[in-house]
Amino acid sequence: MKRFLVPAILAACLCLLAGGMASAQESETRPANTTWLGDTGLWFVPTGEVLPNGQWSVSGYRANIDRAQGLTDISHFIGTFGVGVGDRAEIFGSLRADTRIRRATRPLFDPSDSVNGGVQNDFPLATDFWNDDHIGDLILGVKYNLLSEGKRAPLAFALRGMFKVPTGDKDAGKSSGEPDASIDLILSKHIGERVEVSVFGGVLYRGSPDGINLTNSVRWGAGVGFPTNSPIRVITEFRAEVPTNDQVLLSSPLTGVDGTLSALSSQVTVPLDLSVGVQWQSPRGMFIGTGVSYAVNQDRGLFGSTGNILGLQVRVGYHPGVSRYVAPPAPAARPADPPVNRPPTVAAMCDPCELAPGESSTVTARASDPDGDTLSYRWATPTGTLSPSNQMTSTWTAPDADGPVPVTVTVDDGRGGTASDTTTIRVVSPPPPPAREYSFEDVHFDFDRYTLRPGAVRILDEAIAAMNEDDSLSLTLEGHTCNIGTSEYNQALGERRANSVRDYMTSRGISANRLQPVTFGEERPMHDNAREETRRLNRRAALVVRLQ
């Protein structure tokens, strides 16, 4: 009877405390429970929701766990608490008021059996077949809610961090004597006001006592509670841990109460726990439940006893509930739609629609509105100028560049109705004046002479006057001869005649770079050299026009 005294007293105290604190749950909340660690959840699996701000939860647990090493049966008698902070977080704790450890293997340690005869990863200092009533460790934690269905999120999402304070009796093997830490991510969903589903995953770091190297774990779990709208609820869960190392290593062996020595390495079997429970919860939040757990991946050991794979779970407590999902209010009835506004119409016109750069065109908007609304006008163009730009009629002045220019008018009825139209004005520069044509008489010379005759001055003065008026005018001065004399002599004579013309023109102010003297001698006669009356006409200088 003594072994059951502490948990019985603990459960009674928690029930009295919860009954004193309980109050009718508001319609804004729905039923919820604690986990064996003290935060809001199903049983062992947490949910993403948290306690409302300033609300408290308390509970008492008898939690049983079975592990392969030593065919160990571990029972915790736990008191938990939780408090909501700011509707987004809860602070919680779990005190293992009594931790009992029973190893079923005989002998206690068996170095030849690395699966069942070694050191247990969670309680490595347990060296007795039965460890009587002793206090266990204290777990403290914080869960922060990132998404909540009570705040109209599609699901609940939370981050949970925990720290183990090694308050357990180390000498009795109830604690490793070192702190642990863990962090978890939690997702949960309340479906149809009837079923709550939750999954979590995280990592657990184990502090190792001197001479022993414990392994850390990646852990996860999933659970379902139903029906959540009934006082009687069924909870099913599955939990697992995957160790980061499959061995617990010792620097020196441990000595069991029977004198056996442990091996320096013990295998860590992946723990898989399946649990099923049923509970009753009052409308005021008080609950009581019982269930059974099954160690799925457990070796039955030497005896094949089901006592090493089945565990009895009992809990009693109080939880005020979590915020219920409340659908957003239906939108207010929309007032009757006002009459549909009909847009205006507009046509843009130009007069004239073709003009020269710098000239102006009158642009006019012919607009109407079927509802009789007063219209405003706005003219726009990519180039040129408009004045004014906000009237029905405007004046557009063309830019200097040629090309089509769109001129757009937009009318607005002041009630969201607009219309636009564009007219295109062509800017066309007037054609340039025709190029002036120049033609000058030839300058004739006497036989075998290159001096200018009196009549030649008149011809050259006309050319000089034209060149002074037109800077683009240049001349090629061709020197020609008749066929009397040698070709070489005539080439030189033609050059002297061309130079004679050039010298006269430069003396009258014409730049030499506008005059190009060349000689053709007798090679390009314009007249018949067989008769003197036509031969003399070949003794000339031709003024050939070049326009730059």
**pLDDT for residue 195:** 95
Strands (E), 416-513: 418-427, 443-444, 473-480
The pLDDT value given to residue 92: 98
Q: Using 50, 70 and 90 to split pLDDT, how confident is the model at 451?
A: confident
334: in domain: no
Residue 541's pLDDT is what? Answer: 75
For residues 317 and 349, membership in a common domain is answered with: no
The token pair at 394 is 């405007």
| CATH number of the domain within which 389 lies | 2.60.40.10
> Would you say residue 433 lies in a domain?
no
Band (pLDDT 50/70/90 cuts) for residue 361 is very high
Using a 10 angstrom Cβ sphere, with 0-12 exposed, 13-18 middle and 19 or more buried, the burial of residue 446 is: exposed
Are 238 and 294 in contact by the 8 Å Cβ rule? The answer is: no
Q: What is the CATH number of the domain that holds 462?
A: 3.30.1330.60
Candidates 371, 225, 220; CA nearest to 289 is 225
Asked whether residue 388 falls in the same domain as residue 502, the answer is no
Number of domains into which the chain is organized: 3
Are 422 and 455 in a shared domain? Answer: no
Given a cut of 50, whether residue 8 has pLDDT beyond it is no
Match 């023109």 to its residue by tokens.
Answer: 505
Q: Are 228 and 89 contained in the same domain?
A: yes
47 and 18 share one domain: yes
Residues 7 and 136 grouped into a single domain: yes
Q: Which of 427, 452, 483 is the last residue of a domain?
A: 427
Domain range holding 400? 345-427
Examine residue 85 and state whether it is found in any structural domain, yes or no.
yes
Angle between helices 487-507 and 454-469 (to 10 degrees): 60
Average pLDDT for the chain: 88
pLDDT at 327 over 80: no
Query: 221 has which bridge partners?
Result: 200, 239
CB 211 within 8 A of CB 229: no
Give me the pLDDT at residue 13, please. Answer: 54
pTM: 0.59
Q: Give the model's pLDDT for residue 490.
A: 86
| pLDDT tens readout for residues 422-449 | 999 999 988 887 777 888 888 898 888 8
CATH number for the domain including 31? 2.40.160.40
Asked, for residue 331, whether it belongs to a domain, the answer is no
* In a shared domain, residues 158 and 277: yes
pLDDT of the residue at 245: 92
Q: List 390's β-bridge partners, or say none.
A: none
Q: Residue 23: pLDDT above 80?
A: no
Residues 227 and 128 in one domain: yes
Domain final residue, candidates 292, 323, 354: 323
- 409's tokens: 């008018």
Residue 529 lies in a domain: yes
Residue 235 lies in a domain: yes
What pLDDT does 24 receive? Answer: 39
Q: What is the pLDDT of residues 304-323, one digit of tens each?
A: 444 578 889 999 999 999 98
Two tokens at 343?
């847009």
Q: Please report the pLDDT score of residue 69 as a whole number.
A: 85
User: What is the rounded CA–CA span in Å between residue 289 and residue 312?
Assistant: 11
DSSP calls for 293-314: EEETT---TTTT-GGGTEEEEE
CA atoms of 59 and 15, how far apart (whole Å): 8
47 vs 498 pLDDT, higher one: 47
What's the rounded Cα separation, in Å, for the pair 41 and 47? 5
Is residue 156 within 8 Å of residue 174, measured between CB atoms?
no
Claim to verify: residue 395 and residue 514 sit in the same structural domain: no
244 pLDDT above the threshold of 50: yes
Residue 370 lies in a domain: yes
Longest dimension (CA), the chain: 164
Side by side, which strands form the sheet with 376-380? Answer: 354-355, 418-427, 403-412, 376-380
Domain boundary among 403, 427, 451: 427
- Do 420 and 460 fall within a single domain? no
Domain shared by 360 and 465, yes or no = no
What is the rounded CA–CA span in Å between residue 120 and residue 236? 27
Average pLDDT over residues 131-146: 93
Q: Are residues 217 and 242 in the same domain?
A: yes
For tokens 């061995």, name the residue.
Answer: 247
pLDDT at 380: 94
Assigned domain for 9 exists? yes
| DSSP conformation class of 42 | S
